[in-house]
Amino acid sequence: MNPERKEFLNLLSLPGRINATEAAWRLGFEPDHISILVSAGLLKPLGNPPAGAMKFFLTTDIEQKKADAKWFTKASEVIRLKWKEKNERAAQNRTRTPANVNGQPHRSGDNNQHGRT
């Protein structure tokens, strides 16, 4: 476990607001999952930060969500579906290969791309 994460999780008293990485640590998610949860409306950052700005979360809100089984079920499903979509798109992109002028699939490393010898 990341020493910084371990130290944060062992704090006796948490700060009033925490950043996205710390929120992920408290909830048991990966830091990149927080943006997915915010986009889905399952987490609300403090204030109205613009896209791409650092986001902070109220610690008491995070702790309440941490104790809510229904919220965790919803959040886990949102993340699962997001990864499923991403994997499906990646699989579709892998099956699409560039075709040469004869309509044959392009083979990597094939110097004879135009059917000439």
Say yes or no: domain 3-94 is CATH 1.20.140: no
pLDDT of residue 67: 94
Q: Please state, in angstroms and rounded to a whole number, the distance separating the CA atoms of residues 20 and 104.
A: 48
* Domain residue limits, the chain: 3-94
Q: How confident is the model at residue 17 (pLDDT cuts 50, 70, 90)?
A: very high
Amino acid at site 17 = R
The per-residue pLDDT for range 98-116, each reduced to its tens digit, is 655 555 555 555 555 555 4
Cα separation values, 46 from 76, 94, 98, Å: 22, 40, 46
- Directed axis angle between helix 59-66 and helix 20-27, to 10°? 20
Q: Tell me if the pTM is above 0.75.
A: no
Residues forming a β-bridge with 19: 56
The per-residue pLDDT for range 67-96, each reduced to its tens digit, is 999 999 999 999 999 999 988 888 888 877
DSSP designation for 29: -
